Amino acid sequence: MRGASVADREHVITAFGNYASVRSRDWNYQTPWVQNNWDAMPEHQRRLSPPELYDLSVDPYELSNAVEGHPEVAATYHEILVKHIQENRSITGGSLEVGDSAFHEVPLFDQSQL
């Protein structure tokens, strides 16, 4: 690979605290990534914000949530996260599950494996 150029990634997936993000050159999608019904979780942490989507081409400071105006983009990025979980379950010993509420079922300790 020395001297050879490498193509840019289409997107990057990250997780921090209670949220995961899929970011591309033009969009940043953030969504809650914890189980919000744990009995031991403090009440203030159970009130997670809804998914957010930012159009970085017009809102580089991520000030205006565009999820309602671009539901198809949010759905696409949601699917990217689900696919990432499915493809990487072996890394976590199968503890990642995908379901209708996938982003509320991932334990915090699995975030390091995203």
Within the chain, what is the greatest distance between any pair of CA atoms?
53
pLDDT for residue 76: 97
DSSP state of 99: S
Structural domain contains residue 1: no
Question: Quick check: is 6 in a domain?
Answer: no
Mean of the per-residue pLDDT values of the chain: 76
- Report the domain count for the chain: 1
Q: Buried (b) or exposed (e) across 80-114, using 16+ Cβ within 10 A?
A: ebeebbeeebeebeeebebeeebbebbeeebbeeb
Does some domain include residue 20?
yes
51 in any annotated domain: yes
103 lies in which domain range?
A: 12-113
pLDDT of residue 114: 44
Give the domain CATH number at 60: 3.30.1120.10
Tell me the pLDDT band of 56, cut-offs 50, 70 and 90.
very high
Q: What is the pTM of this model?
A: 0.67
Average pLDDT score over residue span 35-42: 59
- Asked if residue 50 has pLDDT above 90, the reply is no
